[in-house]
């Protein structure tokens, strides 16, 4: 019995017990459903073992949506707790757990997989490739992310959630102040999914640098592909930093080292430093692909080619380099001198320049365009003014002297939500709507989509603009309550209402999916938006080999050239196509990583060592295995092509 006590929840509440029951019932329902409909084989053959970039993209997408709702429920709880002064809905410990998991889930397990979904699905299509450079590694990346996310999510029913914030600053995150295993989950789950992200970075850079269609020079790549290339450059640069930082944090918690302790020479500030060396570029990892998606959508629905292609590319490259030189602006108040603060202050403000260039380029793309106000376009148009507000408050925060006033207040919270929601979340929803027909063969309903856009935008403004005011008035972030005398009550109530409106918007998105599955027409063709780049040049649904004939392009808008200027996109003839084989090893390795992570969280050394051996065995198996893939014959390709052309 003593052995099992470690798995107990340190601060149980009715909500957690209810969640346990719900999780149990869901698992039983899924297993029963799969068994009843005899879908185990289908699931294993078509999804769990797949190495197809399109299916992996869709799995990322589903995971991201699920995590969006998990993180969203956290957000509602936070706003509900703060809605009125001296609220007793959540106790301080629960409040700490909820805001910590909200942050980690939204950044690591919602936004990251969301951008990976689009990267995986769109980039090979956009550059005319058959798959990514390392399909099996790609599957491994996904499963590491997935099991990392699962490990993080079970924390609230087994052992307790992390409660030291998504930044997990030491010494608070050390053993003395965070005694239960929550922070172990944080360290290890992020480590596992981070390794997956690093692999994706390597994979995508290789894919984009080496597998572009003939004719597609670097300066003829579609803008989304450019943004993904730059993003992955940042991923490869900074993910090793968080790997080391998390490893050191794990050693502090499990092996009693003193890296970030306050005794024996340890330096708690080093954690903050390393965390933000990764953490700041991380937010650019999220925003740059979003910029890429906006570029695609704005040029499609303005009916014009993207204004200032070269300056777009240059500004992204400059942003990527600058993003690695600004990290100290997250801790201006930590005690370093004026020289260091001034340096980081100036580099931070400099980022506004290339970002401004991009904003103007989008505006000039719209100028004199025939704008179609579709749902993806609405999100893109909503993004521009709202993101500018977020960016401007960022410049305010960048001034180190003034930051002493803003630091750790709701002003900061308003700022980063103001960049992340209109920046990243809008882009993800726009991209979801835009690429949905390519992924699933039918469109999402436009009318419901517009309703969810407007509710989301209005809800967003209601929820976050009041925080600028309460923040300047001194309301601290991460405080579970405030007294009535502070006068923060009414504005926090407005925020809560805004959060509710946003919740309605997400419910509408779910309803939209349901509605469109049932009622949307299926005969939409391959190019429902009258789009410009290569991903729309292949059939819908996309055959597993993507393009029967390798496309040949002459500009960044190969498909548009083919439609309007008579460019011959597919000059070759059909040849047999080499494809990689499916493999169960990535899934199994991911599962073993999960066991390893779980064992480490609870310091169960024997299963940890066994699973480490298992991982090495999987790698050895891969090394000795001879797998040359398979060929799709010309006959098979022609049959598929005829069938898909008929479906148009």
Partner 1 sequence: MSELFPRKQIIGFVFSLVLTAAALAVYFLKLSFAQGMVVLVVTAFVQALLQLVVFMHAGESEDKWVIYGKVFFMIAMALITVFGTLLIFLWDM
Partner 2 sequence: MKVDHSLPLEYGTKQNGLNIFGFWVFLAAEIMLFATLFTSYFTLEHRTGSGPSGTEIFEIAPVIIETLLLLTSSFTIGLGVHAMRLGRKKAMMTFFVITLLLGLGFLGFEIDEFITYIHDGATLQTSAFTAMLMTTLGTHGLHVTFGLFWGTAILLQVKKRGLTPETANKSFIFSLYWHFLDVVWIFIFSFIYLKGMM
The reply on whether position 256 binds partner 2 by CB under 8 A is: yes
Q: Comparing C-alpha atoms, which of 307, 311, 315, 254 is closest to residue 287?
A: 315
Q: Which does 339 bind (CB under 5 to 8 A by kind): partner 2, partner 1, none?
A: partner 1
Q: Which does 613 bind (CB under 5 to 8 A by kind): partner 2, partner 1, none?
A: none
CB 188 within 8 A of CB 179: no
Q: Applying CB under 8 A, which of residues 245, 319, 424, 463 lies at the interface with partner 2?
A: 245
Sketch the per residue contact string, 598 through 637, with partner 2: x for CB under 8 A, - otherwise.
------------------x---x--xx-x-x---------
CB of 589 to partner 1, least distance (A): 27
* 73 CB-near residues (< 8 Å, 6+ apart): none
- Between 19 and 336, name the residue whose CB sits nearer to partner 1: 336
> Torsion angle, CA of 279/345/463/374, rounded to 10 degrees?
-80
- Between 134 and 224, name the residue whose CB sits nearer to partner 2: 134
Query: Which class for 602: exposed (0-12), middle (13-18), buried (19 or more C-beta within 10 A)?
Result: middle
Q: Which does 336 bind (CB under 5 to 8 A by kind): partner 1, partner 2, none?
A: partner 1
Of 203-211, 393-401, 409-417, 540-548, which part binds partner 2 (CB under 8 A)?
A: 203-211
CB 430 within 8 A of CB 293: yes
* 94 CB-near residues (< 8 Å, 6+ apart): 11, 13
CB 358 within 8 A of CB 290: no
Could you list the residues that contact partner 1 (CB under 8 A)? 209-210, 233, 236-237, 241, 267, 269-270, 273, 277, 324-325, 327-328, 335-340, 343
The reply on whether position 244 binds partner 2 by CB under 8 A is: yes
Three-state DSSP string of 238-278: HHHHHHHHHHHHHHHHHCCCCCCCCCCCCCHHHHHHHHHHH
Q: Applying CB under 8 A, which of residues 76, 85, 165, 258 lies at the interface with partner 2?
A: 258
The reply on whether position 546 binds partner 2 by CB under 8 A is: no
Q: What is the Cα–Cα distance from 23 to 29, expressed in whole angstroms?
A: 10
- Between 232 and 512, name the residue whose CB sits nearer to partner 1: 232
The reply on whether position 257 binds partner 2 by CB under 8 A is: yes
Q: Applying CB under 8 A, which of residues 202, 349, 504, 554 lies at the interface with partner 2?
A: 202
Number of residues that bind partner 2 (CB under 8 A): 44
CB of 325 to partner 1, least distance (A): 6
Q: Name the region of 125 (left: φ>0; alpha: ψ -120 to 50; beta: rest).
A: alpha
- Between 72 and 249, name the residue whose CB sits nearer to partner 2: 249
The reply on whether position 211 binds partner 2 by CB under 8 A is: yes
> Torsion angle, CA of 132/137/139/140, rounded to 10 degrees?
-160
Q: What are the structure tokens assigned to 40, written together?
A: 């185990």
CB 458 within 8 A of CB 501: yes
CB of 217 to partner 1, least distance (A): 13
The reply on whether position 247 binds partner 2 by CB under 8 A is: yes
- Between 25 and 619, name the residue whose CB sits nearer to partner 2: 619
Q: What is the DSSP letter of 333?
A: G
CB 600 within 8 A of CB 250: yes
CB of 321 to partner 1, least distance (A): 8
Give the interface with partner 2 as residue ranges (CB under 8 A): 133-134, 198, 201-203, 205-206, 209-211, 236-241, 243-245, 247-248, 251, 255-259, 261, 263-267, 270, 273-274, 277, 616, 620, 623-624, 626, 628
């Amino acid at each position: 019995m003593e052995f099992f006590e470690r798995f107990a929840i340190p601060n149980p509440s009715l909500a957690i017990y209810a969640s346990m029951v719900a999780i149990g019932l869901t698992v039983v329902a899924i297993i029963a459903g799969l068994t009843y409909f005899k879908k185990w084989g289908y699931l294993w053959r078509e999804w769990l073992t797949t190495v197809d970039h399109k299916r992996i993209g869709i799995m990322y997408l589903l995971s991201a949506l699920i995590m969006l709702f998990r993180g969203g429920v956290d957000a509602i709880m936070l706003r509900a707790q703060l809605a009125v002064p001296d609220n007793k809905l959540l106790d301080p410990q629960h409040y700490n757990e909820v805001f910590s998991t909200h942050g980690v889930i939204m950044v690591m397990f919602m936004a990251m997989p969301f951008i990976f979904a689009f990267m995986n699905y769109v980039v090979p299509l956009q550059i005319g490739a058959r798959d990514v450079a390392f399909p099996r590694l790609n599957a491994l990346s996904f499963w590491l992310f997935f099991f990392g996310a699962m490990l993080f999510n079970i924390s609230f029913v087994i052992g307790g959630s992390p409660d030291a914030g998504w930044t997990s600053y030491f010494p608070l995150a050390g053993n003395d102040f965070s005694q239960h295993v929550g922070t172990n989950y944080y360290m290890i789950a992020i480590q596992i999914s981070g390794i997956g992200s690093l692999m994706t970075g390597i994979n995508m850079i290789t894919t984009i640098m080496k597998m572009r269609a003939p004719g597609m020079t670097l300066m003829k790549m579609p803008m989304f592909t450019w943004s993904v290339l730059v993003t992955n450059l940042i991923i490869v640069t900074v993910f090793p930093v968080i790997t080391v930082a998390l490893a050191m944090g794990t050693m502090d918690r499990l092996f009693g080292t003193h890296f970030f302790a306050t005794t024996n020479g340890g330096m708690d500030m080093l954690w903050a430093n390393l965390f933000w060396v990764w953490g700041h570029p991380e937010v650019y990892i999220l925003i740059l692909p979003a910029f890429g998606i906006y570029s695609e959508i704005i040029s499609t629905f303005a009916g014009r080619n993207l204004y200032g292609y070269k300056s777009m590319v240059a500004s992204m490259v400059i942003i990527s380099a600058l993003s690695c030189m600004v990290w100290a602006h997250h801790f201006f108040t930590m005690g370093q001198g004026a020289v260091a603060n001034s340096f980081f202050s100036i580099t931070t403000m400099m980022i506004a320049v290339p970002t401004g260039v991009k904003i103007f380029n989008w505006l000039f793309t719209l100028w004199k365009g025939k704008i179609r106000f579709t749902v993806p376009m609405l999100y893109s148009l909503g993004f521009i003014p709202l993101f500018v507000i977020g960016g401007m408050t960022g410049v305010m925060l960048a001034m180190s002297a003034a930051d002493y006033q803003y630091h750790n207040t709701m002003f900061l919270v308003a700022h980063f939500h103001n960049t992340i929601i209109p920046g990243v979340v809008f882009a993800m929803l726009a991209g979801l709507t835009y690429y949905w027909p390519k992924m699933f063969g039918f469109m999402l309903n436009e009318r419901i989509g517009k309703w969810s856009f407007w509710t989301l935008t209005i809800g967003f403004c209601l929820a976050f603009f009041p925080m600028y005011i309460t923040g300047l008035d001194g309301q601290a972030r991460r405080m579970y309550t405030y007294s009535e005398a502070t006068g923060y009550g009414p504005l926090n109530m407005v925020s809560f209402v805004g959060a509710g409106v946003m919740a309605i918007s997400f419910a509408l998105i779910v309803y939209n999916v349901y509605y469109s599955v049932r009622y949307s027409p299926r005969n939409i063709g391959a190019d429902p938006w009258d789009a410009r780049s290569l991903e729309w040049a292949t059939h819908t649904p996309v055959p597993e080999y993507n393009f029967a004939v390798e496309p040949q392009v002459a500009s960044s808008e190969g498909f548009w050239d083919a439609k309007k200027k008579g460019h011959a996109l597919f000059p070759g003839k059909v040849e047999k196509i080499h494809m990689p084989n499916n493999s169960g090893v990535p899934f199994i390795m991911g599962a073993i990583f999960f066991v390893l992570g779980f064992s480490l969280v609870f310091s169960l050394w024997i299963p940890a060592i066994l699973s480490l051996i298992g991982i090495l065995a999987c790698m050895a198996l891969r090394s000795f295995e001879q797998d040359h893939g398979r060929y799709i014959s010309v006959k098979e390709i022609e049959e598929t092509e005829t069938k898909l052309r008929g479906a148009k």
